[in-house]
């Protein structure tokens, strides 16, 4: 714990997101970065555990470089979590994978369940807003009174990101993509979702009870149980549904799932 605090103090760029600071502060043990994989859809950092995060980037061609690319292996994973604060989305993706690689998931607080099922149960006949476009959106639309899908890159039928300011305070249930940590929108989205039933969705979401202090009710994340299979999948371009060696877990604030 003492060593972890010392390393945190050495991180040059600290997060301006208190929620992320608190997640990192809750990590009790550092580890050496053994491998880093930045693949088309998913980024993985292997340290104490194998942590995943969605791969986000500014587009092609990318003009921003990843700091110390080629020399991340062997670094302190706790130091690498500092990348999660970067305005460079690719660096922030690596940072969030590093965060997830150090979290010891308390499986006694988890169930193996798809976050979609929780949203269906809690949102049946109610107004639901989902920040992030997920493949199960059509199914959720069938059970909701109204369903709003908010996306930074809207598809047909989606609302633009700025619609969250009006929509989130006026619905009953909110689903937030874990990539809101990566693009640094998480705190504003949670503020807008105050007093709503909030589900965090996707492998980028840190499976830690720290999020419950910020208004999250259920965290739908993932635990890599077979790093070799998971990494082979993402290296070969697997979408999330195709990634092997992963368990989909839901951690709840209360006994609700």
Each residue's pLDDT tens digit in the chain (257 positions)? 444 444 444 444 444 689 999 999 999 999 999 999 999 999 999 999 999 999 998 776 556 889 999 999 999 999 999 999 999 999 999 999 999 999 999 999 999 988 889 999 999 999 999 998 898 999 999 999 999 999 988 888 899 999 999 999 999 999 999 999 999 999 999 999 999 999 999 999 999 999 999 999 999 999 999 999 999 999 999 988 899 999 999 999 876 55
Q: Which of 64, 82, 102 is where one domain is finished?
A: 102
- My answer on whether 88 and 189 are in the same domain is no
Same structural domain, 116 and 226: yes
Q: Which residue, 118, 141, 216, 140, is CA-closest to 176?
A: 216
Alpha-carbon distance of 61 to 145, in angstroms, equals 42
117's CB contacts (< 8 A; 6+ apart) are: none
Domain containing residue 172: 107-252
What is the value of pTM for the model shown? 0.91
Statement to judge: residues 150 and 203 lie in one domain: yes
Q: Same domain for 93 and 165?
A: no
257 inside domain: no
Q: How many domains does the chain have?
A: 2
The C-alpha atoms of residue 100 and residue 176 are separated, in whole angstroms, by 17
| Same-domain status, 221 and 161 | yes
List Cβ neighbours of 220 (8 Å cut-off, separation of 6 or more): 114, 115, 118, 199, 200, 201, 202, 205, 248, 249, 250
């Amino acid at each position: 714990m003492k060593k972890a605090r010392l390393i945190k103090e050495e991180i040059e760029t600290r997060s301006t997101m208190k929620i992320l600071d608190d997640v990192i502060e809750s990590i009790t043990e550092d580890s050496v970065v053994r491998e880093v994989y930045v693949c088309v859809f998913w980024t993985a950092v292997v340290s104490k555990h194998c942590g995943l995060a969605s791969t986000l980037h500014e587009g092609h061609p990318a003009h921003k470089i990843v700091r110390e690319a080629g020399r991340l292996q062997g670094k302190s994973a706790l130091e690498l979590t500092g990348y999660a604060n970067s305005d460079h989305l690719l660096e922030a993706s690596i940072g969030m994978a590093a965060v997830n690689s150090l979290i010891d998931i308390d499986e006694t607080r988890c169930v193996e369940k798809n976050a979609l099922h929780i949203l269906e149960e809690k949102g049946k006949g109610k107004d639901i807003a989902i920040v992030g476009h997920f493949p199960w959106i059509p199914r959720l639309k069938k059970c909701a009174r109204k369903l709003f899908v908010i996306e930074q890159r809207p598809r047909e039928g989606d609302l633009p990101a700025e619609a969250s300011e009006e929509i989130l305070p006026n619905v009953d249930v909110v689903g937030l993509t874990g990539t809101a940590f990566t693009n640094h929108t998480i705190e504003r989205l949670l503020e807008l979702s105050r007093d709503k039933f909030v589900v965090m969705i996707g492998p980028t979401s840190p499976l830690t009870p720290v999020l419950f202090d910020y208004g999250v009710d259920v965290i739908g994340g993932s635990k890599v149980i077979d790093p070799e299979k998971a990494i082979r999948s993402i290296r070969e371009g697997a979408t999330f549904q195709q990634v092997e060696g992963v368990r989909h877990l839901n951690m709840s604030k209360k006994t609700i799932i």
